[in-house]
Amino acid sequence: AREGYATRRPASAARHAQAAEVMPGGNTRSVLYHGPFPFTAEGGEGCRLRDLDGHSYVSMIGEYTAGLFGHSHPAIRAAVLRALDTGVNLTAHNPFEARFARMVRDRFPALQQLRFTNSGTEANLLALGCATIATRRRTILGFQGGYHGGLMTFGLGGPGANPLNVPHPVLLAPYNDLAAAQALARAHAGDLAAIILEPMLGSGGCIPAGQGFLEGLRALAEETGAILIFDEVMTSRLAPGGLQEATGVMPDLTTLGKYVGGGMSFGAFGGRADLMAMFDPGRPDAVAHAGTFNNNTLTMSAGLAALGEIYTPAVAHAHNARGEALRAALQAAAGDLPICVTGRGSMMAFHFMAQAPRDAAEAAAGNQALKELLFLDLLDRGYYIARRGMVALSLMVGEAECTGFVEAFADFCEIRGALVR
Ligand code: PMP
């Protein structure tokens, strides 16, 4: 399958070789790398991507959830053009920023106040910084398979697994294992600043959290005095007010990113007003939070269109119902093969195993080579998913594309069934 992939993409191969001269690996986003070389996209429209070799794909990965609006949504385009006409980089407070902040605050129930960043990575670093300053403690409790940005990727643990890790002492528990989290937190209670998690593991395999797990962590945070942080950079799209709204479990701090900024560079962190107050520059003991592009008008305007005009609460409900239907159809197409399509709403992931994984170790035990085969086979049929098996349904993907995708997956199951079984 790899050879066929390479033979059909000579232009991408040549471009990759050139790119690798100036960037190690030919790119600056490690997640996009895969062997033998990633294809080069020359452009995109709606839910479609074109590569340099003349292939066209339906993007079923939707920029890892950030591409909820596709590549060329007219309302986003109009908003960005308006912002361009207003002038970029105003070096001042601007009206887009406050309007957008109010709109975001009004959507997510645990947000009393918030501040913007350029990425989800920064949002998480700032939320953790806020928790360590507020508690005067240093240690954080995270979960295996949690992805909190380029500087905070929690693997399964083990030396060298994560050399570029966050500058805090980190304890890692298995996801969905409340007893393990309690044991770790209680053993380090005197220095535990924060408990951070995605309320569904996203990159780690679209593994939902049990309700009791989330509620237990809320109680554990109270018990230990730690700050509970929900990283909703991905999961915020799963209900109008994110999974905090859908589960009713309220974190102290929330981080956001991806689609909320309308597909521009975006991040935000916020939560309890008493915690966020430390960032008020008018205070003598203020904690500085700077960033040249934090309030850039392009992102602020795109975000206003994204939440205000496009992804309204009704659309969010309908879109996630479509995602549930797609996931059910994929699972049905797998028949009795040992394949699980996990996830929730518009986010899902393939796992080559008979039982749905509940944590990252179980997910890692699935057959990873088959994931690559699925990725390459689907590309051949014109569907682009994440190399690791993830799908994030965008608003631009219509019913015809969903049906075609299920058919392509059903073909994979039929043709590769003997290998999968
Ligand atoms: N948190 C989660 C849950 C994410 O999925 C990501 C990005 N994949 C991030 C944080 C980091 O966001 P960014 O890439 O904008 O830094």
In SS3 terms, the chain reads as CHHHHHHCCHHHHHHHHHHHHHCHHHCCCHHHCCCCCCCCEEEEECCEEEECCCCEEEECCHHHHCCCCCCCCHHHHHHHHHHHHHCCCCCCCCHHHHHHHHHHHHHCCCCCEEEEECCHHHHHHHHHHHHHHHHCCCEEEEECCCECCCCCECCCCCCCCCCCCCCCCEEEECCCCHHHHHHHHHHCHHHEEEEEECCEECCCCCEECCHHHHHHHHHHHHHHCCEEEEECCCHHHHCCCHHHHHHCCCCCEEEEEHHHHCCCCCEEEEECHHHHHHHCCCCCCCCCCCCCCCCCHHHHHHHHHHHHHHCCHHHHHHHHHHHHHHHHHHHHHCCCCCCEEEEECCEEEEECCCCCCCCHHHHHCCCHHHHHHHHHHHHHCCEECCCCCEEECCCCCCHHHHHHHHHHHHHHHHHHHHHHC
Name which residue sits closest to atom 5 of ligand 1, judged by CA. 234
Give 245's contacts (C-beta < 8 A, 6+ positions apart): 108, 109, 239
In the chain, where the domains are located: 2-68+314-420, 74-310
Residues 29 and 344: their CA atoms lie apart, in Å, by 26
What atom in ligand 1 is closest to the CA of residue 198?
3
At residue 382, the pLDDT reads: 98
CA of 231 to the centre of ligand 1 (A): 9
User: 74-310: same fold as 2-68+314-420?
Assistant: no
- Is the distance from the beta carbon of residue 366 to the nearest atom of ligand 1 less than 6 Å? no
Q: Does the annotation count 336 as an active-site position?
A: no
Cβ–Cβ under 8 Å, residues 228 and 36: no
Partners of 266 in the beta sheet?
A: none
At residue 154, the pLDDT reads: 76
Residues 110 and 231: their CA atoms lie apart, in Å, by 12
Structure-token pair, residue 278:
């430390």
CA of 68 to the centre of ligand 1 (A): 15
Residue 190: name the closest of 140, 137, 228, 153 by CA: 137
Residue 121: name the closest of 42, 196, 206 by CA: 196
At residue 151, the pLDDT reads: 72
Sign of the Cα pseudo-torsion (113, 117, 119, 124, in order): negative
- Is the distance from the beta carbon of residue 152 to the nearest atom of ligand 1 less than 6 Å? no
74-310 architecture in CATH?
Answer: 3-Layer(aba) Sandwich (3.40)
Cβ–Cβ under 8 Å, residues 251 and 258: no
pLDDT in tens, the chain (421 residues): 899 999 999 999 999 999 999 999 999 988 899 889 999 999 999 999 999 999 999 999 999 999 999 999 999 999 999 999 999 889 999 989 999 999 999 999 999 999 999 999 999 999 999 999 999 999 999 999 999 987 777 777 644 444 445 678 889 999 999 999 999 999 999 999 999 999 999 999 999 999 999 999 999 999 999 999 999 999 999 999 999 999 999 999 999 999 999 999 999 999 999 999 999 999 999 999 999 999 999 999 999 999 999 999 999 999 999 999 999 999 999 999 999 999 999 999 999 999 999 999 999 999 999 999 999 999 999 999 999 999 999 999 999 999 999 999 999 999 999 999 9
Residues 133 and 307: their CA atoms lie apart, in Å, by 32
Residue 68: name the closest of 298, 308, 234, 293 by CA: 234
Q: Does the annotation count 258 as an active-site position?
A: yes
At residue 157, the pLDDT reads: 62
At residue 168, the pLDDT reads: 80
At residue 162, the pLDDT reads: 46
What atom in ligand 1 is closest to the CA of residue 124?
10
Domain 2-68+314-420 annotated CATH 3.90.1150.10: yes
Residue type, 362: E
| ipTM above threshold 0.95 | yes
Supply the pTM of this predicted model: 0.97
Residues 417 and 421: their CA atoms lie apart, in Å, by 6
Residue 237: name the closest of 343, 385, 151 by CA: 343
Number of other residues whose CB lies within 10 A of the CB of residue 366: 20
Name which residue sits closest to atom 12 of ligand 1, judged by CA. 120
Burial group, residue 136, by CB count within 10 angstroms (0-12, 13-18, 19+):
exposed
